[in-house]
Structure 1
């Protein structure tokens, strides 16, 4: 299997890249436990910033960016991580998905994640990133992971700490990549509405 990890971090080292790596490792470990080998390809958008700006202005991607776009299209799963600026994803992150073919992620499992200086920006995952990938017809895993600055020091604390969320999200992505449902299926039988009405009628 091929897993593509897209990091829009701008600094070096980057907390965005660190989160991306930890999510990729959690996914890889679960896929291995399920009997699947995985090839992980990491894309640092910082290195492609000039190429992305060029293709937006001209419509023609350079060879490096074209290779990355093809790699994303061929992926079995994607992890997409952006820093949060002004309560939303970064411009570089959005620009990359603007130049990606709008059918490239159709039906593809995607794990979304973000980093920021304060937990107050965590809602950007739901009001910015998730709608973006829903628009691109991706299958977004239920658990989105946000890491604020204070989360790194307490990564192993609590039942819903950063480490726990990373593991859960990685398991969900691995399940979708492996062809299993990301969450337990509802096995209850559903009685059609017409039958329910019939049962209420007097004999």
Structure 2
């Protein structure tokens, strides 16, 4: 069976430690799903590339032609990996803007792996005090293991190089198992959600 995994990275810089962590989690999840016999397609979304479209969506209530397929990719995914940098003890405003424009039911019963990056390991509580409650509210199925990466986790020392990969592998294994035991999302009927007349008049 083919499985689609959407990966959302909310990093602002290039290169971004959030994107680096997202890529590692995605590849580990791919390996785990392939071992379970699945064909895997990874769709990675860099929110920094859609920042203006997200603001416009919040103002107008409608996604642009560029943002629409991104929202659809998340909605249609079998599983979701999200990585946010830590800003003021929480997820970034860019990440929250993306969540705010998702349909209220987009993540219901969807397996989600949460992860974050930050300048110090003390910020790791963002996973349990901000990200996990957010996705619980959206009725997603958040896997038990969350992954936080501080600067020292990317070091060359034996402890750092051993600990982060183990956490990544464990979280990816949990996500793969949740995805594997579910049927894929049902194909959406385009007539169930027609384009609003106001949007047609606006020429979008």
* TM-score of the aligned structures, taking structure 2 as reference length: 0.85
1:93 maps to 95
Partner of 2:37: 35
Alignment of 1:178-197 (within 5 A): 178-179=180-181
Unaligned runs of 5+ in 2: 183-204
Q: Partner of 2:62: helix, strand, or coil? A: coil
TM-score w.r.t. structure 1 length?
0.86
Report the secondary structure of 1:142's partner residue. Answer: coil
- Equivalent of 1:19, from 14, 21, 31? 21
**Higher-Rg member (1/2):** 1
Indicate yes or no: 2:174 matched with 1:172.
yes
Which aligned runs of 4 or more in structure 1 are off by greater than 4 angstroms? none
Deviation (angstroms), 1:155: 7.4
Look up the match of 1:105: 107
Equivalences for residues 99-138 of structure 1 within 5 A = 99-138=101-140
Instruction: Tell me, yes or no, if structure 1 residue 53 matches structure 2 residue 89.
Output: no
Instruction: Say what the alpha-carbon RMSD is for the aligned residues.
Output: 1.5
**CA–CA separation in structure 1 for the residues paired with 2:178 and 2:158:** 25
1-structure distance, mates of 2:88, 2:157 = 25
